[in-house]
Structure 1
């Protein structure tokens, strides 16, 4: 059935088309099949600034052929336009419209077009319609965005931190150069969720859970985790991220950083561990100092309640003597460590027979080993070997190692000492005791480091011995190492020292002091100490030895007493009220009655600087509390 359209209807249809064409809100240009412009609408005229009667409009409608325009060919528009004339709908590249070049005022604009063929029922192209769009704002925004992104990437790549970014849902789509340099991963290989696989397996669940929480709650993300370095090791990093919001408050992106904190975290952890060790040490120090005070207090009670019972008096005196000796050792260890760490130890180096050092150390520790039923074996090569060192300090080193072996070896256990001689001499002290945990082994020579103790703290000590051993050995050009297979596997400590090339006569190790001797020449002795108990007990001891003792607690009264009586010797404390012992000694020494007297400092100050000041003040001898009373008695008898 054939449909006939009346002339009137055709006119109305044409009018509607013309109305729609003219009133279309976008620029339309209708082209003939040979590339000439048939018609343009009002939006086209507004876009190009060419109204009716304008030369540009007349030129476009009368003469201009788009298929023959060389400028369109150069701008890459002609080729896709020809495809439109061949029947294909195409989008033409944006071109810059410069109204000034066309003799029009105004700003340059970017224009993009879509070419759509209008076809006959048989498919042949009748006309081509160009629809133009002013894309200046969009292109400018895109250009600014690209410039901003380029600037961001430049800044991000220049940062020392790793920078990353994700989409609002958490999908990782950007990492800066530092990320790839740190991880050694190929570009793009950690996008998406692959980032979590870069963390230490123990940290992955925690990192993922916290990241999901931040995405859901929009709270800042912050975490410390171990990230795999390009070297294969895991290093501690600090990860942080914040949501980026638009003007409406919606999250459009997450920006994050990763900062390498490996060294800082190690230092922080070491400081925390050192602080814990210090606290443990202070607790142990309090325990160790309180322990001897209890028997001393009990012995003092016996001395008051049973002064006429010789047996109780003797036993009480022995208890006090043993406990004071123990406290003295603790204080000496503290002072030794203090002097060593401050570089104040002065060694008296001389040729030393190392075998004699070991034997002397064994003799010092033998009572402890016999009390615990230990079997001690020694293995030393024939012949003698000498080292250049401080004999007393070397004995201290060896006795410390042997004492540790005895303390940490169960009763009836075994301890061995062996020596090997090669380019250097090695002395090994081995035991089959409680051993050293692997995590503790690298730190056994550090200050305040101690292994786990039994609840009764039967091992005793302050954990200073090995730190002191290491320092003293290194001061003498050697080294000390520790080895243990772990808990219950025993321990081995090896001291290595350089051998002395020549073989001179060795210096004998220090010998134990002799007992307290009675006065063969009674002296008039003034004791000055503001500690009443210390002064009174020392005065009683001197009286018991046959001397005449005057006990004074105030420096001014000491000067007054010296002005009215002559004294053969003065035993002065240093820390006195109002006038220290140095000043008191200087003033007493200047007195005509006291110039020839013997001056002995008896004080708790024992540094090298203290001793130097004592010598400058006129002291003949300098003793540190608690002093060897036998030595004090002998000093008083020297002519």
Structure 2
């Protein structure tokens, strides 16, 4: 008996030494620990000595003590073993789940004398079970609250589970769906493809997606997209299907609305896949290409577009397929005829998948031909306006609504010597005379406040240093609501007028009233005589020419012999030539710009009129003539020379372009008249006349200049053109009174 006891004790000691498994021996009555191993100490978080001073109830979690006590008491009723899952309350306050399996040792009369237990730490399993429970709860919640229809379907088509959204889609309660099958809610025409998809997935796995119609109990039809996936069968169960159903009704309605919008937009809107195939296009595509949209779908851009068009668009397409948003303007030359181009604004927007890959790209192409033509017309108009602004003798500028200068013409820069950037904003005030600056700024601010035109006289510094009087005017430009959107201003050189006025006042003090009256009468008679002659030529001869022209025009409407009609045409041409010559003579008799404004303005006016009458462009350069007037003999002689030179160009040169330059320096006046006409051979003796040229006119020009102490040169070469050069000294010259 002693030997058996020793053997049992050895076995028990061996069990207590098993690592990782808690072992305990307790008193069945007091439930006090009698023996514990190291593994139990590690599980409970107490030392061996501490556990031997405790009972099982003290180690148990308070909520599990009653359960453990009832389980242990079952041993006293004769049961041979027990097993319970419970919680220990560790020394550090943490809770640990354990599974305790045990038995009792009984005496000869069957009474328990010792209890033995094996304790396993099941905390990790419990945590996994809790996570699984929470995951299942979340999945159940997702299943119930999903915004798409979810269902489990048996292999025979019966619904095993369905969420409320699927019930809403098919118009039935989820509980009702569990009593029917998929065929009962599918439109009859869509049952065969639905069954085929289900059988395919059940047999081979994977998934299938199809668009189908569901039939509601009220007879209405719902379009939806269903995706089927096979669920791996559980032990002893048949395979099932998971169906995800998306209601496409709102999508289809939205697509219909979008289709109406895109089909009525004045733009080409479409979608291309990665192979550049036309997947979807709006009606404007059909109108643009002149074919039904179905003819485009499935075709690639290279197949449909002309090669040269595709080559222009190809770089943008490739960039879009690399994931870049592309925007550029495409020009189709001469689409509407020679020089009439077509313009489109191309926008390519890549369609990116969730993983960032490019699935294709959207196209938005706008016809901007009208805008481009308007821009070109605007640029041309602005260029014309700038050219005109630079031709006028006045200094011109513009201001924003707040009065800040934002543009000046070339005359301003030529006169003041300022760069345009220096004059912008308030920089223009730097060239205003210091005595005039305060008043000028104050009146300008007053005009801005009152939004009224400005009219002021002030002195502006020239690039050479002297100040000259100018008449400054500024006008506001108003929008349709009466708000100022821009100001435009001009400064007219009135130095000559002020000088003339001062000189006249001096002459009034120095001369007698009779002399002034006589001079005025002489000037008046001379002017009136010129006016009378010009008027007689214009009114009398002009009327005769007009009447004759009307008569010739009337004859052309009559039936005539060819020879007579040819002679009549010749006569009509002669009449037009006489009319032009009459206009020239009238203009020559009345060089009013010379009399009123001076040599620079007089030449500019005459050159402009001559160019218009002759049809020959003129490059005119005037420099230094916006100051004090030149002596009258100088102005008259130089003007008449330029006049005669241009007349010779008209009569003899056959030129396509003429250049006139008139520059005044401090001590001399330089002028040149150049044409690109036929030219001529100069005489060997150095004279300037040649057959076919107006030799007396050339001599007259030479004599006028030499009479002033100047120098006159005429250079010509056949096929190259002719140049007239003159220089007049201004030393000691007395200015004209104007």
TM-score range, shorter chain: 0.3 to 0.5
Please tell me whether Structure 1 or Structure 2 has the larger radius of gyration of its CA atoms.
Answer: 2
Question: Normalising to structure 2: TM-score of the pair?
Answer: 0.33
